[in-house]
Chains A and B, each alone.
Chain A
Amino acid sequence: MSITFNGVTVEAQRPDGTTRVLLADVTAELTEHRIAVVGPNGSGKSTLLKLINGLMTPTRGSVLVQGIDVASAPRRVRRTVGFIFTDPAAQLVMSTPVDDVGLSLRRTIKNRAERRERAAALLAERGLTHVLDQSIHDLSGGERQLVSLTSVLAVDPEIIVADEPTTLLDLRNRNLLRRTFASLPQQMIISTHDLELAATCERVLVVEDGRIVDDGMAATVLPRYRERMA
């Protein structure tokens, strides 16, 4: 498993025509199983994550996922990278969990009844049997985030990228999601303000003003980060 950033710079145009640098010359090799990206709001965390599946493209430099340049084969890369958004309400397409997971399965299982059965089984694995046919709108934030995760895992991604997945959750759901993440075999890149979640990762990157300003093991980087932000 590897994600490589080669001198990646991302610039955006402001409405008045001037450019804003979102990410400045970032080079990194991500091979660890679980990696956290921390940093203040607007530091470039989201940009870094969205580069991994081609939601954003570098202005200069390149991003490689398993050796494939994201810019040259974005769809192929997206099939191996699952993305979890902060707000699951935006990520869920269908009105019920079983239909949403079914949507992810539509390429692999053509028969509707079989697809439903498989979707229900996947949701059951996450402890969501009781909400299969409920309206997405009536679920709790934590349940919604678990449904998004189930839909993403349904396509068997090799890498999971999660952009502040616990920000909108209460403490209990945060803990639940943290435990669920810890049990996944996929390589995970998680941006977060939740330092307990970051502490469960092997490696932590600190992003500030579009640059990686600290990088290393969670046990050494997180205390320094707390000090920086004090």
Chain B
Amino acid sequence: MSPPGSLVAALQRHVQSTCRHPEFRHGLRDMAPMVPGLAAWGLVTGVAMVRSGLDPWLALLMSLTVYAGSSQLASLPLIAVGAPLWVVLLTAFVVNLRFVIYSAQWRFYFGHLPRWQRVSLGYFGADMCYAMFMRRWSEPEPQPGQVPYFAGGAFVLWAGWQLPSILGIVLADGVPAQWGLGFAGTLALIGLACSLLVDRATWVCAGVAGAAAVAAFALPYKLHIVVAVAAAVAAGLMMERPGGGGGRPIGAVQPARRSS
């Protein structure tokens, strides 16, 4: 059994060697151009959290722990109307499903690491980190320098998000509620949703989701979101049918297994 002191020292050495690695600085440099856009979205999320009625301390806790803009923004209207816990969590889970796809990719690079490291790396592997990392390391296999590179990019991403988000929390209190600044959060979600409209099947999926959400709006517990997701996913999958496998492949594409 090691005393806590030596554990801290080991962690310190680990962090130091990661930060001194040349790939760490490479990661910092690659993520830097993303900062302005990231900062604007962080600011919007900070303002939206407080404007939705969340206590500033809870908003701060949310920013520092949840650390996922789209699921934060999506859950705010649900928290504001007092939707049941499971509906809020299920909605956030569904909005976050894209990360499940990313995690299939991350596995190729980090699958050999101990579980706590896999989970910690995953937590910081937000959208932009994923996009940046996959561009730099396009071969899906572990290589030295990948973890420092990831850490460099994730550090810039984390700071470039948290600082503006906290600034937004502080500033939001000084803005009159009737200005409706929280609408910026809805606009951020609109931008994100539009970026997912890539082919006919996704357009149909979005149309069905919107219509079903309005039609089922009177359901209790904000269940209209669950109904809309089920209907829209079914519609999307049916749209793929005629072409067979249609749409682009997503996530990790596994090599076909030959039996012969």
Task: Decide if A and B are genuine partners.
Answer: no
- B residues at A contact (CB < 8 Å): none
- A residues at B contact (CB < 8 Å): none
